[in-house]
Amino acid sequence: MAGNYKIAVIGGDGIGPEVLEAALEVVDVVGVKLDTTMYDLGAAHYLRTGEVLPDDVLSTLKEFDAIMLGAVGPPIGSVDVPDGLLERGLLLKLRFDLDLYVNLRPFTGIPGSIATGHDMVVIRENTEGPYAGEGGILRKGTDNEVATQGSVNTRYGVERCVRAAFDIAAQRPAQRISLVHKTNVLTYSGDLWKRVFDEVAADFSQVERSYSHVDAACIYLVEDPGRYDVIVTDNLFGDILTDLAGSVFGGIGFAASANLNLSRNGPSLFEPVHGAAHDIAGTGRANPVAAIRSAAMMLDYLGEKDAASRMSDAVLGYLREYDPAQPVQHTADTTREIVRRLQ
Ligand code: IPM
Ligand code: MN
């Protein structure tokens, strides 16, 4: 067995633990040995203990080779967990503190979806933009209340993300990259993004580049997803576009992601794009594909190239032959189907 990587596993809430279990099973089948440590974090943990992500746990997480995360979040409408507490205190804290500056989200159009047979990648900046938390509320609760929420865009942050996106585009057969922003309205941040994009492009003359405003990109994604090969965009646009892309390419249950610290001075984090889906938790109906594909991305990032490509080929084979006319496959069936392709 190759490996023996130290992996922190945060199953989290709802279907999170179930889909990670499926992913770990497939990793085992491809023969990579993981030394896993489970961390109990998320909404249920918070409600039991009042803790979100204690500092000592965060420091411990920094010692791992990688982190696998299932999903965190309370059931919709839960009044017991304040809005944003887990998002800011756990997931975004990990993205920021571990400097996971690239959020890599690949999409493969399953048969029957609008994007059948097409694939693309979104590179979402993951540590800045409106997510940085700049702003505040003045005179809260009064008639004169003021709320501001800024967007932080540093040349350093934009450039390292754009460069990573060009690197990825240069390795793909189509070699096409599109910047998505809103330069016609966000004339400060958009200007910085566009200039950096054009500057970095000079080092990648073989990569064909284009630009779309984010509103138009939503139309193109739905009407002509083949227009895009690699999209690079800011944190909030990337969040929204990748939910849209998830749906266009067949469903959010297939959408994987890698939160990467490409300077490799700490662990990267791998998680499905979907949330906790409390409504189907425990029913065996969760789609494990996003988690399995995220785990394949983790193996690739850890340098287990052979195992990673066998695992992602098995997932892609499964997706290519996916029959939308069949009754919905359940967690165990899907996992078995992917494992069968590895034997
Ligand atoms: C995602 C999620 C997160 C985000 C939430 C849970 C904070 O929607 O990973 O896309 O907005 O980035
Ligand atoms: Mn999202």
**Rounded to the nearest whole angstrom, what is the distance from the C-alpha of residue 32 to the centroid of ligand 1?**
29
Residue nearest to atom 10 of ligand 1 (CA): 239
**Rounded to the nearest whole angstrom, what is the distance from the C-alpha of residue 240 to the centroid of ligand 1?**
9
Residue nearest to atom 7 of ligand 1 (CA): 87
pLDDT for the residue 145:
98
What average pLDDT does the segment 336-340 reach?
Answer: 97
**Rounded to the nearest whole angstrom, what is the distance from the C-alpha of residue 128 to the centroid of ligand 2?**
15
Q: What is the mean pLDDT of the chain?
A: 97
196-232 per-position pLDDT tens digit: 999 999 999 999 999 999 999 999 999 999 999 999 9
What average pLDDT does the segment 57-85 reach?
Answer: 94
The CA distance from 338 to 288, in Å, is 10
Closest ligand (CA of 87)? 1
pLDDT for the residue 245:
98
Residue nearest to atom 9 of ligand 1 (CA): 273
28-66 per-position pLDDT tens digit: 999 999 999 999 999 999 999 999 999 999 999 999 999
Q: Which of 78, 15, 45 is nearest to 281 (CA)?
A: 15
138-188 per-position pLDDT tens digit: 999 999 999 999 999 999 999 999 999 999 999 999 999 999 999 999 999
Atom of ligand 1 nearest to the CA of 72: 6
pLDDT for the residue 297:
98
Atom of ligand 1 nearest to the CA of 243: 10
**pLDDT confidence band for 121 (50 / 70 / 90):** very high
Residue nearest to atom 6 of ligand 1 (CA): 87
1 has pLDDT over 60: no
Model-level pTM? 0.97
Q: Which of 298, 259, 290 is nearest to 274 (CA)?
A: 290
**pLDDT confidence band for 77 (50 / 70 / 90):** confident
What average pLDDT does the segment 107-125 reach?
Answer: 97
User: Best mutation site among 72, 92, 235 for ligand 1, i.e. most ligand atoms within 8 A of its Cβ?
Assistant: 92
Residue 279 gets which letter from DSSP? Answer: G
H/E stretch holding 8:
strand 2-12
**Rounded to the nearest whole angstrom, what is the distance from the C-alpha of residue 142 to the centroid of ligand 1?**
30
**Rounded to the nearest whole angstrom, what is the distance from the C-alpha of residue 297 to the centroid of ligand 1?**
19
pLDDT for the residue 172:
98
The answer to whether the CB of 260 falls within 8 A of the CB of 100 is yes
Atom of ligand 1 nearest to the CA of 92: 7
267 has pLDDT over 70: yes
The CA distance from 10 to 19, in Å, is 11
Instruction: Say how far residue 273 (Cα) sits from the centre of its chain.
Output: 5
Residues with active-site annotation? 131, 182, 215, 239, 243
Q: Give 171's contacts (C-beta < 8 A, 6+ positions apart).
A: none
pLDDT for the residue 222:
98
**What does 112-180 look like in DSSP terms, one character per residue?**
TSTTTT-EEEEEEE-SSBGGG--EEEESTTSTT-EEEE--B--HHHHHHHHHHHHHHHHTSSS-EEEEE
**pLDDT confidence band for 2 (50 / 70 / 90):** low
The answer to whether the CB of 65 falls within 8 A of the CB of 302 is yes
Atom of ligand 1 nearest to the CA of 126: 12
* Pocket of ligand 1, beta carbon within 6 A: 87, 91-92, 239, 273
- The radius of gyration of the chain from alpha carbons, rounded to an integer in Å, stands at 20
The CA distance from 27 to 4, in Å, is 12
Strand 268-272 with 256-260, pairing: antiparallel
The answer to whether the CB of 132 falls within 8 A of the CB of 126 is no
Percent pLDDT > 90 in the chain is 95
pLDDT for the residue 293:
98
The CA distance from 140 to 2, in Å, is 56
Interior CA angle at 324 toward 318 and 328, to 5°?
A: 85
pLDDT for the residue 147:
98
pLDDT for the residue 82:
93
